[in-house]
Amino acid sequence: MIFEDWGLVEYAEACERQLQLVEEVADGGLDHLVFCTHPPVVTKGRATTAEDMTGWDGSTIESTRGGRATYHGPSQIVIYPILNLTKPRAVFKERDIHAYLRALEETTVAGLRELGVKNAERRDTPPGELSLTGAWVGAKKIASVGIAVRKWISYHGVAVNILNDPQAHKGIRPCGFAPDVMTSLEKEISAAADLEHCKSALRKRFEFALR
């Protein structure tokens, strides 16, 4: 697996670069694990409804990932695994998209716990309720998960809220929820967080789990 840190990159550019990697992996290349952050933007997943956009006046972009409207910004660490899902992994079987989603959640939860969010967890979605895909701290959501798959290669991934940004998520219903359902690592540990330290911890977890 090749690790890449793209730093601060526009969301549209990151999508183009992911699709290039998808083709490389589909042609037999190595898997990639990409970390990055984005300038403030709301991405509209395939399940987004008109009610999700309640007053956001910044940049928006249509996304090929699953899920609903989601905020991305420099307060997050965004993780894009570009994986060949035809190969079995330590934590999921080949061609099992649901198991892959659960693996992303569990790996994110493990990283958050290591970083001090001891009660981070994944939650199952009750029938007929809003999707609880992601990572949670009680009733608060700390990380969003949304993927796409092309030629059995995964792209898109996980957005982990690290820094406390009061302006993040305002003007939308993130993943269908009220904005105040979202939380951050800094808020949960009541201390400042170092993005590079968080990146290192999450990278180790994802490289190990997705090997």
**Region at 13 (left for phi over 0; alpha for psi -120 to 50; beta for the rest):** alpha
CB burial readout 83-114, b (16+ within 10 A) else e: bbbeeebebbeeeeeeebbbbbbbbbbbbbbe
Partners of 172 in the β-ladder: 53
Check: CB of residue 72 under 8 Å from CB of residue 159. Answer: yes
Helical H runs in 57-167? 97-114
User: Can 36 be counted among the known catalytic residues?
Assistant: no
Beta strand 120-121 with 135-137 is antiparallel
Residue 54: name the closest of 74, 71, 30 by CA.
71
d(CA 26, CA 202): 25
15, 36, 175, 198: the catalytic one is 175
List the catalytic residues: 175
